[in-house]
Structure 1
Amino acid sequence: MVLISLTASHRELDLDALERLSSGSMSVGRTIVGTCRPVQGSVVISTCNRFELYLDVDAPLDGDSVRHATRHVADIVAASSGITPEVAVDSFTVRTGTEVAAHLFAVAAGLDSMVVGEREIAGQVKRALHESRHDGTTSKTLELLFQTASRTSKQVAHRTTLGGTGRSLVSLGLDLAGETLRPYPAARAVIIGTGAYAGASVAALRARGCTDVRVFSGSGRAADFAASHDVVAVDVGPESLVEALADADVVVSCSGARARRGAAGPDAEVSIEYVLDAAAVARARERAAARAEDQPEPDALVILDLALHRDVDPQVADVEGVLLYDLSTLKANAPATEVAVVERAHDIVSVAAGRFEETRLGRAADAAVVALLDEAEATVAAEVEAAVRRLEAELGPYGGATEDDVEAIARGARRRVHAALHDRIVEVRAAALAAAREREAAVVRGAEEALRGSRAAEESRA
């Protein structure tokens, strides 16, 4: 079995490219496992700044299955996202073995996020595994990988200061908004969406003293969310949202529910329906101005768009009196983190990844150690037999070795043999693990080379 990850994030791609790549992410995992026989399991992480596929592949050492599986995955992603297979292949970074675990553990710990140390990603990693279980696409190895990632994230949070800084995209956005808003205890907020970021937004607003919080959901889930978070639900309907916006100082939009209309394909014409368009915001500002009465102008409205698949029409930024902060803005304003803290967190991740790999690849190593122990037992048996013969020769024909004599001889022989065996066990296990890693890496190197070669051939034919 080979672990492979295909990852794309804000570090490798601009957010527009990442959005196109992940636009069909909902069904990719099921499709991959259902149509590609070598793939035994799949988990998909799709967030506001990353799209990652983790695959458990049953691959022979010649690499053909891995090459087929990886190319097939790229084709599926391309078909679901409306991009070409070549773009999909070029967009992904392929990892294997220790690299897979080390990357996922770093992601879960918030070390690969726009805001280093953000805590929301740990929950997103857990949900990705939960969704894979629900879809029936996980595997024993992926279960172990993702559960270990969650434990490692907790270790980083507890053993470094990253866990106590409260870093997140939501917090960063609210900090930026706070530079323009009235003080948060007097501010009025509207949250669009009811997912994990919505819950984090409620908590972050309350931490800043904001108590006037309303929530809107186009799918009708606002009432349940409001009841569970002690906020006020906005009725479904565009005019209800406009009315809420007219009274708001800050809007946090994190639904990711934008719709696309039109044929799929890299060159297809599509129309986009945003959750919040410029016309609705303009109407809200007109109502706010009318309510301002003798004031020169209403307070500015700050809108945070935290959805990768933009909730808010970019033209909203052109509406008078509106400040729009999207993911690109937040990325540009993400704070630096103390180098020593990040290095400590990476050390924790590295150790955890190494231990995970020893567990995952331990079967080959364990087999080598068992063979060594069998050899040691054979040596002990031979020594005992020889020692018993010597004892009986000394005792003569009228004596003989008793059971206690044999047991004492066996204990002594086993102590001597096993004392000399420890260093050999360590060496044999390390060699077996290294060989297993190299065989796996060779398989994936072959898959990557085949993918690049296939792409080059297609380009030359074109």
Structure 2
Amino acid sequence: MINSGIVVLLSLTASHHDLDLAVLERLSSDAHAVGRQIVGSTDLVAGAVVLATCNRFELYLDVADADRLPAARAAAAQAVADRSGYTAADVEGHLRAETEAGTVEHLFAVASGLESMVVGEREIAGQVRRALTAARRDTTTTSDLEGLFQAASRVSRAVEGGTGLGSTGRSVVGVALDIAEPHLPAWADVRCVLVGTGSYAGASLAALKGRGCTDVHVYSPSGRAGAFAAARGVRAVPAGADLAEHLADVDLVVACSGAAGAVLTVDALAAARAGSERPLTVVDLALRHDVDPGVRSLPGVRLVSLHTVAEHAPAEHAAVQQARTIVARAAGDFEAERRVREWNPAVVAERTRVLGGLEAALSALPEDARDERAERSLRRRTRAQLHPPTVRAREAARAGDAAAYAAALADLAAVEVPTPHPDPR
């Protein structure tokens, strides 16, 4: 049970498990501005980190105490509603709430790829790190959120090292290219246009090169293709050029720019392919659809979308169960250490009362009445008296046993400050 007055970690999450991708797209509108609005508009929430990916939208909030949780959740829902076009009530209905241990274990599982569309994929680990970096930039993070997200990254590495998940290249991009592969020439002969220049485009280009595809032209709706392509040894579609005009003799389009609105429409692609019998596979990994889904109706065009990836994603296996065990153990340890830190000040206060009082009493003795050996003995006996209830209190804090903690704290409070006796010399 959460104690009022203690900082509470609250997560509000939605993913491909629960919602259609179109709903996630609307929830993710102007995602990082949501964190700034929540923290800037209310004192209910001390910090916020927003994790928005192609298949999830999640808010992690640092709330002052348990009594403020409902109001904090309502403020967060309103911030999302202001940008998504949903009502605040709709947003609350879409976002699943967790607190404390539930929040911790969920983020650890997400960072480890266990909640991904492709279980065990590794892009999510970088997305979790970038979400924290963005919160730092926006000054919306706190020490508790820092600790949570840094721990999530450590757990992600522990899962990969302990289970092998993630080391085999499992990813949304990888599954999408697996689906596309049977309909393409040999990878060395594939002509590809990559749409986008963000981190996901970088991962997509690496996956293409890993399969042997080197004939890649990069198109950017924002005009960044030149620098992106030059840094990676590929070519750019000239800034300002019409994307469709460069698709007549292309085998594969991989789109992941996340631009506001489709950068490739049905009419534009139909016009570009007029008279062409060359098959074209379009992989659209953008949550907001870089490519109009209607292109799948065009002759010779095959569309692979996030929905397609979800249908073909590999099933769980034994390594996933092992990973979940690692995550659960790590979440328990994180919560235990967090409770120790939160509950420890009362223990420290009681020990300071006794030990500080003893030192004050010793200092008050006249110099000619002090006996160093006797004083060391008195300090030793006093610490020995304090030790058992201190250990019990900290063990109870780790276990979350409030009753045992209160009993141990009462035993500490019952320890009286010893009265030193002056040397009778």
What is the letter of the counterpart of residue 102 of structure 1?
Answer: E
**Counterpart mapping for 1:237-248 below 5 A:** 237=240, 239=242, 241-248=243-250
Q: Deviations over 1:122-163 (max 9, x none)?
A: 111111111111122111211111111112111111121103
| Residues 425/325 of structure 1: CA separation in 2 closer, same or farther (3 Å cut) | same
User: What's the CA shift for 1:231?
Assistant: 0.8
Compute the TM-score of the two structures, normalised by the length of structure 2. Answer: 0.84
User: What's the CA shift for 1:423?
Assistant: 5.5
| Residues 70/418 of structure 1: CA separation in 2 closer, same or farther (3 Å cut) | closer
Q: Hey, what does 2:301 align to over in structure 1?
A: 322
SS in 2 for 1:210: coil
Q: Hey, what does 1:19 align to over in structure 2?
A: 25
Conservation of the 8 A alpha-carbon contact between 1:39 and 1:69:
yes
Q: Hey, what does 1:37 align to over in structure 2?
A: 43
Does residue 1:58 correspond to 2:61, yes or no?
Answer: no
Q: Hey, what does 2:333 align to over in structure 1?
A: 355
User: What's the CA shift for 1:377?
Assistant: 5.8
Conservation of the 8 A alpha-carbon contact between 1:368 and 1:429:
no
Q: Hey, what does 2:4 align to over in structure 1?
A: none
What is the letter of the counterpart of residue 177 of structure 1?
Answer: A
Does residue 1:338 correspond to 2:306, yes or no?
Answer: no
CA–CA separation in structure 1 for the residues paired with 2:53 and 2:384? 57
CA–CA separation in structure 1 for the residues paired with 2:15 and 2:304? 19
What is the letter of the counterpart of residue 424 of structure 1?
Answer: R
**Counterpart mapping for 1:116-127 below 5 A:** 116-127=119-130
Aligned residue among 203, 206, 212 for 1:209: 212
* Aligned positions, number: 389
CA–CA separation in structure 2 for the residues paired with 1:378 and 1:255? 62
**Counterpart mapping for 1:296-311 below 5 A:** 297-298=277-278, 300-311=279-290
Greater relative contact order, per chain length (Cα 8 Å cut-off, separation 6+): 1
Conservation of the 8 A alpha-carbon contact between 2:191 and 2:215:
yes
Higher deviation after alignment, 415-424 or 303-312 = 415-424
Higher deviation after alignment, 326-335 or 277-286 = 277-286
User: What's the CA shift for 1:410?
Assistant: 4.6
Aligned residue among 3, 6, 13 for 2:12: 6
Q: Hey, what does 2:239 align to over in structure 1?
A: 236
Identity value in percent? 48
Q: Hey, what does 2:3 align to over in structure 1?
A: none
CA–CA separation in structure 1 for the residues paired with 2:375 and 2:9? 50
Conservation of the 8 A alpha-carbon contact between 1:368 and 1:428:
no
| Structure 2 residue ranges without an equivalent (≥5) | 1-6, 360-368, 404-425
Q: Hey, what does 1:285 align to over in structure 2?
A: 273
| Residues 435/277 of structure 1: CA separation in 2 closer, same or farther (3 Å cut) | farther
What is the letter of the counterpart of residue 253 of structure 2?
Answer: V
SS in 1 for 2:47: strand
Aligned residue among 392, 399, 402 for 1:424: 392
**Counterpart mapping for 1:446-457 below 5 A:** none
Q: Deviations over 1:385-413 (max 9, x none)?
A: xxxxxxxxxxxxxxx99644664x45874
> How well do the aligned residues superpose, as a CA RMSD in angstroms?
2.6
| Residues 26/283 of structure 1: CA separation in 2 closer, same or farther (3 Å cut) | farther
SS in 2 for 1:320: coil
What is the letter of the counterpart of residue 244 of structure 1?
Answer: H
Conservation of the 8 A alpha-carbon contact between 1:190 and 1:248:
yes
CA–CA separation in structure 2 for the residues paired with 1:244 and 1:435? 67
CA–CA separation in structure 1 for the residues paired with 2:263 and 2:282? 13
User: What's the CA shift for 1:372?
Assistant: 6.4
| Structure 1 residue ranges without an equivalent (≥5) | 260-273, 290-296, 382-399, 437-462
Compute the TM-score of the two structures, normalised by the length of structure 1. Answer: 0.78
Q: Hey, what does 2:154 align to over in structure 1?
A: 151
User: What's the CA shift for 1:78?
Assistant: 1.3
SS in 2 for 1:190: strand
Q: Deviations over 1:356-378 (max 9, x none)?
A: 22343333421344356568869
| Residues 419/79 of structure 1: CA separation in 2 closer, same or farther (3 Å cut) | closer
CA–CA separation in structure 1 for the residues paired with 2:11 and 2:380? 51
Conservation of the 8 A alpha-carbon contact between 1:141 and 1:360:
no
Q: Hey, what does 2:409 align to over in structure 1?
A: none
Q: Deviations over 1:12-59 (max 9, x none)?
A: 111122222222424211111111221111111111000111111123
User: What's the CA shift for 1:316?
Assistant: 0.4
Q: Hey, what does 2:133 align to over in structure 1?
A: 130
User: What's the CA shift for 1:182?
Assistant: 0.9
CA–CA separation in structure 1 for the residues paired with 2:72 and 2:380? 54
CA–CA separation in structure 1 for the residues paired with 2:223 and 2:348? 60
CA–CA separation in structure 2 for the residues paired with 1:378 and 1:216? 69
Conservation of the 8 A alpha-carbon contact between 2:38 and 2:45:
yes
CA–CA separation in structure 2 for the residues paired with 1:378 and 1:411? 11
What is the letter of the counterpart of residue 347 of structure 1?
Answer: T
| Residues 419/134 of structure 1: CA separation in 2 closer, same or farther (3 Å cut) | closer
Q: Hey, what does 1:101 align to over in structure 2?
A: 104
SS in 1 for 2:183: coil
CA–CA separation in structure 1 for the residues paired with 2:126 and 2:212? 25
CA–CA separation in structure 2 for the residues paired with 1:414 and 1:35? 50
